[in-house]
Structure 1
């Protein structure tokens, strides 16, 4: 590292962005622009700058390139940036630099701050949220004998609140109705209009308002062989189904809602907003996370406690919104392929699911949970009821909800096609999933190990794989073979 005159800007972006989002502000590129300009002026145009984080949003990456800020990646959000930034700071100290701006509120930087003080360096600490400063760091910054300068990021740049977006609440309102087994078309026998009005999705309980809303959010699908009860059994009839239209980025919104609710459901004490900055929210400036939490809170599925932590209000949300649908879809699809039939008797679906259960925990095989998953899958359009030889049958539909899971299964099946029926170390399979998603803008297997384990769990429960003693055996199946024959 060449010697130079001037100063150094060291930004712990993970800490700063988390503090801003937890504060209810956005962590957008304007923060980077203003930090760079402030530091540039402070050091008379002689500036070296570094930013460290596990993941950067593309807009932040662009800002770093424009200002020639060096990007320092850490391996995960659990790996603290203090190690990388401290090493950089010591290198600069060795080169004779004695002017620094350190942007963080992380108490782990205290040893570096005290070392800089001993070396008579000029140091300014900029933090993202004064309320998040640890007691020892607060005392150190306030102690006049240390001669440190410190300030709130709000004095450097204008902090902005994220734009509120009611679209997420509208989508979640319909999704929650379906999770409760309520169909979106036909007569309102479940009080769906009243629920949407109470949640703030509809302005009133007028039926015309509901149908205008549904027309904008849903798609109508005609089924010519829908099962209709007759005096002699079940007969085919033309029926129009009403399902959520998952185009225009709505599936990504569902995926984010699903991720947030599962993370919160796994934490009995809840999490602050900053604690949710993983998965789809890892590089988010706060806008996606805020509107997701606003939607969940508006529907009454999460609440904010006195400690500013968000917690789930209902006990049956641990599996989220996607796992029950994927489980039903996988069970019906695998069985239909096994029988080489388009459908199977509707009454057999619950017993089929009962073999492996739905979700996790001791209640995974409970009749109530299984019946609820089947109702949800029917309301969401993942399975449908058709008439076959006077009987009511279930078919798996081409639902946008389940295409990602099917793609994940087929990719896994193709990847290990030469090792079917043979035990494979679980870590090898999980590693393949992670590596496959690393080069994608949108993951197939999921954002983290929790997501990847979910895929394996559904496959095991659907008898498409076996998990035992940290080994995974992918079983040969007609459904898997059908996917293996497709182009990648």
Structure 2
């Protein structure tokens, strides 16, 4: 077939963007500018047709496409639809006599198209996003005579996302506290919310996924509960949670401590008054990070008198106690029944029976449901399929380790004295003495923290705490922890 000099640019945008984000870089409009400029140069100014295919285009990407008169091809969410759509376009242009094709993809499904274009004498250039993500078959096709191949790095300097800040960490954690799932399709305007908080530069969804790539943790479940008519069946599913590793849990502890202190003081506290607990030996940077995060996410405001106060009325429990309560309550019940899971429908009653937190609302169904949504979004509890039913599973979440460690240390020290009650003052003194020489305390930084541990364990029925007396009975959960001491 005779070919001419007209050029065609076909961009598999989802494939390219995914490769770039997977490398830890951000997707921005400058990439589109570079693709258009490079293709125009390669075609000697005869770039005639330009198309980009994706399930969705972010705002700044759409603007760049309009500026360069690139047609947007919105396809379904499956990659095969983009492949088929772009292949059909390529064949149409081939039959119209186009002779230069720039294909932007790393998908091996384009191999038949590439072979066909080369066979018909076309000049073909492949631009890919990440060489390490290419299949062996695709790498092999890049060595064919007459084919040019380049990485996106050869035409554009990719940028790293800004350093992960405490504000970004809190932003994702706050979304989870509101019961919003971080993975999957956009929901509850999470991208717009993060942009409003100043965590993302704009509402482009690619920025959101770049943030998730740098701050998220993906967990694959093979037994996730998926409804199928009148029952639940196990299916593979990927969960996305906040990654609090690499020292980030210290920021969570600081934020949790500050917000609980402020929630207890409606009139507010100064920076000096907040320099206690985990922030007492801090050089100021940790406290400033926590305050920047809380003010940026609009949970705290700074007054004219330089005091900080909370702006929401549901922060008294902080970010950790609700998660601890769900984990401890569910774990105790699983050990009691000697089962890995319990029916999910039992969870609300299990938590509501003895409450969550303090105050008159602690038994309310509204609070219990909010806490359960938070725990599910944060990955402390997961829903799995068991014999056609939806069951609750306590996961090995890093958020739950503090309450596990605290309970098992108390259990090792005092379970041998059951069923005799122990004075609360003796338990609290034990906690304080044990933590005094530790760099990272197990029971917390002050009496409020130590009371919180006892409250969570008592509400979860791991211990009994009443009339200033504490009883730590023998339990299967306690025995299991002690065996690993």
Pairing 1:375-390 to 2, within 5 Å after superposition: 375-390=373-388
Shift in Å, 1:475? 2.3
What residue number does 2:201 align with? 203
What is the distance in 1 between the residues matched to 2:458 and 2:429?
A: 18
What is the distance in 1 between the residues matched to 2:310 and 2:262?
A: 6
What residue number does 2:14 align with? none
What residue number does 1:394 align with? 392
Among candidates 192, 212, 222, match of residue 224 of structure 1: 222
What residue number does 2:477 align with? 479
Whether the 8 Å CA contact 1:331–1:353 is kept in 2: the answer is yes
**Partner secondary structure for residue 363 of structure 2:** coil
Whether the 8 Å CA contact 2:269–2:309 is kept in 1: the answer is yes
Whether the 8 Å CA contact 2:164–2:214 is kept in 1: the answer is no
What residue number does 2:275 align with? 277
What residue number does 2:312 align with? 314
What residue number does 2:157 align with? none
What residue number does 2:141 align with? none
Q: Any gaps of 5 or more consecutive residues in structure 1?
A: 1-163
Whether the 8 Å CA contact 1:421–1:475 is kept in 2: the answer is yes
Give the RMSD, CA atoms, in angstroms: 1.2
Shift in Å, 1:417? 2.4
Q: Any gaps of 5 or more consecutive residues in structure 2?
A: 1-161
What is the distance in 2 between the residues matched to 1:416 and 1:468?
A: 16
Whether the 8 Å CA contact 1:433–1:445 is kept in 2: the answer is yes
What is the distance in 1 between the residues matched to 2:378 and 2:419?
A: 34
What is the distance in 1 between the residues matched to 2:473 and 2:261?
A: 30
What residue number does 1:144 align with? none
Among candidates 174, 177, 187, match of residue 175 of structure 2: 177
**Partner secondary structure for residue 402 of structure 1:** helix
Whether the 8 Å CA contact 2:415–2:473 is kept in 1: the answer is no
What residue number does 2:333 align with? 335
**Partner secondary structure for residue 362 of structure 2:** coil
What is the distance in 2 between the residues matched to 1:288 and 1:363?
A: 32
**Partner secondary structure for residue 288 of structure 1:** helix
What is the distance in 2 between the residues matched to 1:176 and 1:337?
A: 31
Pairing 1:67-216 to 2, within 5 Å after superposition: 167-216=165-214
What residue number does 1:407 align with? 405
What residue number does 1:243 align with? 241
Post-superposition Cα deviations, 1:167-214, rounded to whole Å, max 9, x if no partner, equal 000000000000000010011121111110100111111111111110
**Partner secondary structure for residue 433 of structure 1:** helix
**Partner secondary structure for residue 440 of structure 2:** coil
What residue number does 1:354 align with? 352
**Partner secondary structure for residue 464 of structure 2:** strand
Shift in Å, 1:165? 8.0
Structure of higher CA gyration radius: 2
Whether the 8 Å CA contact 1:166–1:295 is kept in 2: the answer is no
What is the distance in 2 between the residues matched to 1:398 and 1:258?
A: 20
What is the distance in 2 between the residues matched to 1:339 and 1:439?
A: 38
Pairing 1:275-314 to 2, within 5 Å after superposition: 275-314=273-312
**Partner secondary structure for residue 360 of structure 1:** coil
What residue number does 2:8 align with? none
Whether the 8 Å CA contact 1:356–1:462 is kept in 2: the answer is yes
Q: Answer yes or no: is 1:430 the counterpart of 2:428.
A: yes
Shift in Å, 1:247? 0.8
**Partner secondary structure for residue 455 of structure 1:** helix
What is the distance in 1 between the residues matched to 2:230 and 2:176?
A: 30
What residue number does 1:456 align with? 454
Post-superposition Cα deviations, 1:69-122, rounded to whole Å, max 9, x if no partner, equal xxxxxxxxxxxxxxxxxxxxxxxxxxxxxxxxxxxxxxxxxxxxxxxxxxxxxx
**Partner secondary structure for residue 354 of structure 2:** coil
**Partner secondary structure for residue 399 of structure 2:** coil
Post-superposition Cα deviations, 1:221-273, rounded to whole Å, max 9, x if no partner, equal 10000000101310000000001111111111101100000000000101011
